[in-house]
Structure 1
């Protein structure tokens, strides 16, 4: 390790991409004398403004660096000035930048003081550096550590002032491990023993170098592990949907043609300008028309900031995205979108990780549950990064209220960034169908920023897609040549699909999937004849489901497989929330006739794709989704699935399941534990939270089912029996007092008056209605006291006796029956009621947040767990639910009374509002110091203030009395001290309290009159 490494380190600092050109020039022109002049200027200003701080703290560091410069000059290092410029320049920058902010300035001085105390006075070891070349490594290590600190500090304080003030505390705290590591080599170097035994010294330096390298490697590994742990913790706290990456991969896979969608860049300059221009005319644009191009834009942006595209956009550019999904609660809310964006931000940039860690720690919960907290962190990322792109696809799949919140926040942030920072620094792109409601209310970008895509734009893409899928018909099946099509057959397939698709990629995809499911070439060719291939999406969904039926019926026991497929699909489209695979397995394993659950024998051992084929997507985390949001509407209207029948069956299933003996009072605990192991409680999360919703749907939407002569007998008997069992099991907890609003039977309920179970239905509906009209806390329960108790006991048995990896039966595990998260929230309206946690501690922390006393009056996705204060709740209601707000007070606010300063000093006429402050002030006139700082940490509040006071204004009570680096003032004070030693304490006290100039004149005048000499 030689002196040339110093120059390499300086060059790396100089070429650092975060170093701004103006700061680079400033650093290169800096020297030690410039630092001294800056310090003098700062102290003079502090003296005038009476804000003096103990700047002597920086003196040891400056001395140590001056020694380093002197050593480099003495050994005739040619690049001394250039190397040291990156020491003196950053010092000047940090002092000037932080000087206006007392806390930041104090922190910088503290760090320099700590660095300075560890720096050896290198020039004292000059003989060592001239006699032993290996010792130059010490200089390199010291210089490297100083530059490391300056790099970290510059990265923070080169930000906009408002941002670094916001980040400085948490960032400074996070830098502590790096700075502590920086002190270590200095501490070792300052303890080196210089002797004339050069051989021994060489061995010592080799040992020292190896030791330092080992320390650095160990530290770097520990730091990596620490930051990875922090990042994982923050990601868990954000708790964003885990399906975003899967969705992006799915959309990427559908772009099997290399040039798919590239017409977007050729035909619409607004999009190209938004991506590439340094300052685009519009930083927020809205594409409406066909959806599905988000993955193309995302991939293009990521490629544009690479060397392959010659850095068409800055290489540090960040791209974040989100896919809205109508069928997925995590992908259709404002909070869900914020969490999805924030998750990607933290994953892509760890610089603001300390801020996220602090927000997570101060949130009081294990998950991010408030939109305002997410907004706050996202705003910091927006201000921190130099170029960011946000793409939100399918915004129209969210409810109107959620859409407005998304548009308001992101458009507001773009406007703020354009006006306050730089045009084009933050860019947002929405993709959706036309949304007149948002357009009319001026929530979305207007005029040139609104780009309407034409229905014919993607015709070439569809043709290219179909052409690339044609070879799938030749993939070996029962025969080696697939369908063995001629060139004419292929062209005919391509032509008819492209003609029928119009502008719908989805149609082309589904049509190909439908044709691929044909059993023979003859059937395939029949389908492609004019009029045979479905023209509408509804028809093609119908045909796809029919093809699934045909394929399953050809298997052994085909009818059984087909009935299974219908069950699975009907549950997916009719369930009140997305079902996970293990929940669907629990329904299959439940035998309502014998009232038992048998996972081992009844659960499906094949993947769901076998039964539902191309109609579903399998996502990570046990999630199953229908192929497209349009599919649900078409599937429930087709001839194979009767929606009313499925809704009635789900309501019946919930009632029968909740009538199991394990939900009754006095159930044996040993038997409960055995049942838990066998999966009996796998369906309880859904049944306990949704049973009343299914009863409500059955009343409002299933009346015709019971008056249909083909179905009445079957469903009336099943539902009536389930209703009777449920009431018999839980009668003691069902409300008998009629609700005032139900004195007259609702018309929807009266339509069931001719059925055998009518009285029981009225009896139970009265209870459900009363429960749903209760307070938020009441609605957040199962609604039946005994069911709440049983749910709690069942969960305790599961939590205390098993882990996900525990054996359930033979090779099946508890995770197979219950999923990976066993610790769940007890509030039925919370999504963690069914999602849960994998650790008890996380669940308990989450539960504690539900105990907040103030809840949103609306069932709101933005505040699912309430507020800790009424002020926070009122602010939330005013912002997000103005119609629910009580409005501003009609009374005029009282002005705050300002007390006059009643206590006046008799010596200098300074006045105070409190007597204790006057008393402390008067002591300063006479040098009384009752609160002297001890070496250990002060205990009393007054001692604590004394400690802070000495830290900022004097290194210690006995330190030399100079507060400026100018020799002139040092001489003056030293002369006065030598002439009148008994006034030393007085002079210190005068300078300590910030009106020293006036009183110093008084004391000097007094001294002159007393001795007849003028000392200053």
Structure 2
């Protein structure tokens, strides 16, 4: 049977050795329908159209040849590659060639197949691709049985011979997939990516060929025509379903990658950051001296068209974030990963130093960050403003001290001399650190007796630095406070310190009110009746989200990264233990009965507020579990955490691990450790997304119902005051949308 071989020569052009084309002649009708000549011709026409679409000249470049011509060409290629030291085992083609020869002879029983198409594409100039092609042809040859052994059976049972049409179509699909690789102009540069795409289509084709071989072998004796036809249809359906599944998976992956790219390219919404920074400015003119300084005025002069750079720096806690006014502002580079700050600064400086040559364009870059040595050396020749050593910054701290001391005097009815003492002590020991002044003054303001205030001002007690300032607050709220207040403050600080994202006040309230053992949420009896600041003092920040008034959506964060480090290093907080407690709470909560309830029961649990913590728990339970390694010294907590993790797997894992009940704690930890890091892929290993969507939908529906004032108040306090629709994908960002559902999902 004549075959065709296209060879890629060193100059990149196709060298055509031969082609054999299929012509159809009219066949007499048979009593039992066999292979259809029209279907062969239709498959070939579709393939030719694919050729001409990719390159108008590609189809015309083929000429007729025989199998002998192909074998001769293979020997020539082998000889040429041997001379170049790239010898390859060409015998891998033998099985494919024999299979094609027998396919042609089998088809001739029913139609005129003297000109059967078989294109062999060989990239002889790219050894890796050449080997992949030879392997592919070898795999195809293995999966096509010796068809001549079935020739008599094909003649006796023509419907069975329709499998030849499928073989023919599969071979054409294979070559069409190969065309996608080798007709790309840059295929040699992109060969790895191209072959991945090729493999996606090649594997289902191999499975299809193997299924057809099994079908023929199973029916070689006495074939039941009905069963053969039915099996063939089922096989085709499975093959199509597999292809559809692969296509759908590719579509989902593409959407995910596009979403990731979009998130990377889109500018972040800094509105909330701006509001939180603005809240920290108690005096309206705080920081104005920076804007009025000559260095800033020179940098911000819009009438000047030159590029410029300004470096604002200070010590940790100098309140750098409140001074960001810019065209391009880069803040926090001192916190970037190793090497990233240098790359970013170097690139931005290259823009300023001539990379942008547009005469009408000007770039203004403002860097702000803590001095760490590396930033100073990179920006040493740029204009700079040092916050901590500037007289304007010192005046701002003094004004802040005066403002807070006046509040202390008003609250505790102290003498003006004590007020002046407070101003003097705090401003002199702040040393340019706004954070120190804030923590100390907040702690003084929180005192409830004059004797307590006097004790805090004593020389042996008054803090000398930020760590001692934190210590005074920690002692007050974690040691000297009543047991219940101490317990609540410790619990809040444990969560806030280790939370995977900033927590809402309503979420913290839910932690106190949910009892997963009794499957209840008692909001009225168990919610905290005092504010987070009253319990945790100046160790936390509370940002009021709605209209500047306290509310359930307020965001609670640790006051500064240095406060988190202090609490952990001084053992006020055991981060590993807190992560374990958080993971255990989330696992028990998510496996409690309300998450397996009927629709009617879900509505009841919604109205009592039980699902107020589900968004955080679903997204971050595994994050906490991964962070609680090293619990050996707390065997009781370790045991409880691992058992709650086992129950979580039994409830939601896809599939449930074998012998789950018998797995050791190390086995459970290994199972979680081997989960994909990508949150989208990890979410696909669990069924919890479906339950989440049902509950979220029910919450949205209940919120628009005609509820009593009491029920509305509870719903608002637990789920938030505004109706916000959420992306149904649990691996997606936790951003909420005050919009219609159709606009929420990134997959619409």
Q: What TM-score results when the alignment is normalised by the length of structure 2?
A: 0.55
- Structure 1 residues 771 and 759, CA, compared in 2 at 3 Å: closer, same or farther? same
Measured after TM superposition, the shift of residue 432 of structure 1 is 0.8
Match of 1:691 among 605, 617, 621: 621
Q: Is the 8 A contact 2:588 2:644 kept in 1?
A: yes
Measured after TM superposition, the shift of residue 279 of structure 1 is 3.0
SS of the residue aligned with 2:469?
Answer: helix
Match of 1:816 among 707, 717, 721: 717
Alignment of 1:259-270 (within 5 A): 262=289, 269-270=294-295
**Structure 1 gap ranges (5+):** 1-236, 299-319, 321-388, 554-558, 707-711, 739-756, 849-1016
Pick 1 or 2: higher relative contact order, CA cutoff 8 A, min separation 6: 1
Match of 2:489 among 535, 544, 565: 565
**Cα distance in 1 between the residues matched to 2:679 and 2:531:** 40
**Cα distance in 2 between the residues matched to 1:447 and 1:431:** 15
- Structure 1 residues 395 and 513, CA, compared in 2 at 3 Å: closer, same or farther? same
Measured after TM superposition, the shift of residue 591 of structure 1 is 0.8
1:576 is matched with: 500
- Structure 1 residues 640 and 413, CA, compared in 2 at 3 Å: closer, same or farther? same
Measured after TM superposition, the shift of residue 295 of structure 1 is 4.3
Q: Is the 8 A contact 1:804 1:814 kept in 2?
A: no
1:672 is matched with: 602
* Residue 514 of structure 2 corresponds to residue 590 of structure 1: yes
SS of the residue aligned with 2:611?
Answer: coil
**Cα distance in 1 between the residues matched to 2:684 and 2:503:** 19
**Cα distance in 2 between the residues matched to 1:527 and 1:452:** 31
Match of 1:825 among 727, 731, 735: 727
**Cα distance in 2 between the residues matched to 1:417 and 1:283:** 13
Match of 2:674 among 758, 767, 770: 770
**Structure 2 gap ranges (5+):** 1-265, 547-552
- Structure 1 residues 769 and 735, CA, compared in 2 at 3 Å: closer, same or farther? farther
Alignment of 1:922-961 (within 5 A): none
**Cα distance in 1 between the residues matched to 2:523 and 2:642:** 27
**Cα distance in 2 between the residues matched to 1:535 and 1:518:** 19
Q: Is the 8 A contact 2:521 2:610 kept in 1?
A: yes
Give the count of matched residue pairs.
471
Residue by residue, what CA displacement relative to the aligned partner does 1:346-379 show, whole Å, maximum 9, x if unpaired? xxxxxxxxxxxxxxxxxxxxxxxxxxxxxxxxxx
Measured after TM superposition, the shift of residue 632 of structure 1 is 1.9
2:565 is matched with: 633
- Structure 1 residues 516 and 451, CA, compared in 2 at 3 Å: closer, same or farther? closer
Q: Is the 8 A contact 2:496 2:558 kept in 1?
A: yes
Aligned residues: CA RMSD: 3.8
**Cα distance in 2 between the residues matched to 1:794 and 1:503:** 50
**Cα distance in 2 between the residues matched to 1:758 and 1:438:** 54
Measured after TM superposition, the shift of residue 662 of structure 1 is 3.6
Measured after TM superposition, the shift of residue 532 of structure 1 is 1.6
1:733 is matched with: 655
- Structure 1 residues 600 and 468, CA, compared in 2 at 3 Å: closer, same or farther? closer
Residue by residue, what CA displacement relative to the aligned partner does 1:602-640 show, whole Å, maximum 9, x if unpaired? 333544333334332223152223323322222334454
Q: Is the 8 A contact 2:387 2:432 kept in 1?
A: no
Residue by residue, what CA displacement relative to the aligned partner does 1:191-229 show, whole Å, maximum 9, x if unpaired? xxxxxxxxxxxxxxxxxxxxxxxxxxxxxxxxxxxxxxx
Q: Is the 8 A contact 1:802 1:814 kept in 2?
A: yes
**Cα distance in 2 between the residues matched to 1:758 and 1:637:** 38
- Structure 1 residues 677 and 460, CA, compared in 2 at 3 Å: closer, same or farther? closer
- Structure 1 residues 676 and 472, CA, compared in 2 at 3 Å: closer, same or farther? closer
- Structure 1 residues 262 and 416, CA, compared in 2 at 3 Å: closer, same or farther? same
Q: Is the 8 A contact 1:806 1:813 kept in 2?
A: no
Alignment of 1:136-151 (within 5 A): none
1:421 is matched with: 359
Match of 2:744 among 820, 824, 843: 843
Q: Is the 8 A contact 1:659 1:725 kept in 2?
A: yes
**Cα distance in 2 between the residues matched to 1:402 and 1:842:** 36
Measured after TM superposition, the shift of residue 648 of structure 1 is 1.8
Measured after TM superposition, the shift of residue 840 of structure 1 is 0.6
**Cα distance in 2 between the residues matched to 1:609 and 1:282:** 45
**Cα distance in 2 between the residues matched to 1:575 and 1:687:** 11
SS of the residue aligned with 2:610?
Answer: coil
Measured after TM superposition, the shift of residue 568 of structure 1 is 1.8
Measured after TM superposition, the shift of residue 417 of structure 1 is 9.5
Measured after TM superposition, the shift of residue 282 of structure 1 is 5.5
Q: Is the 8 A contact 2:314 2:320 kept in 1?
A: no
**Cα distance in 1 between the residues matched to 2:557 and 2:355:** 37
**Cα distance in 2 between the residues matched to 1:796 and 1:260:** 46
Q: Is the 8 A contact 1:287 1:432 kept in 2?
A: yes
**Cα distance in 1 between the residues matched to 2:705 and 2:494:** 29
SS of the residue aligned with 1:429?
Answer: strand
**Cα distance in 2 between the residues matched to 1:718 and 1:776:** 25
Measured after TM superposition, the shift of residue 650 of structure 1 is 0.5
* Residue 563 of structure 2 corresponds to residue 538 of structure 1: no
**Cα distance in 1 between the residues matched to 2:706 and 2:499:** 28
**Cα distance in 1 between the residues matched to 2:296 and 2:310:** 8
**Cα distance in 2 between the residues matched to 1:643 and 1:811:** 37
1:275 is matched with: 300
Q: Is the 8 A contact 2:513 2:526 kept in 1?
A: yes
SS of the residue aligned with 1:447?
Answer: coil
**Cα distance in 2 between the residues matched to 1:507 and 1:771:** 43
Alignment of 1:62-211 (within 5 A): none
Q: What TM-score results when the alignment is normalised by the length of structure 1?
A: 0.42
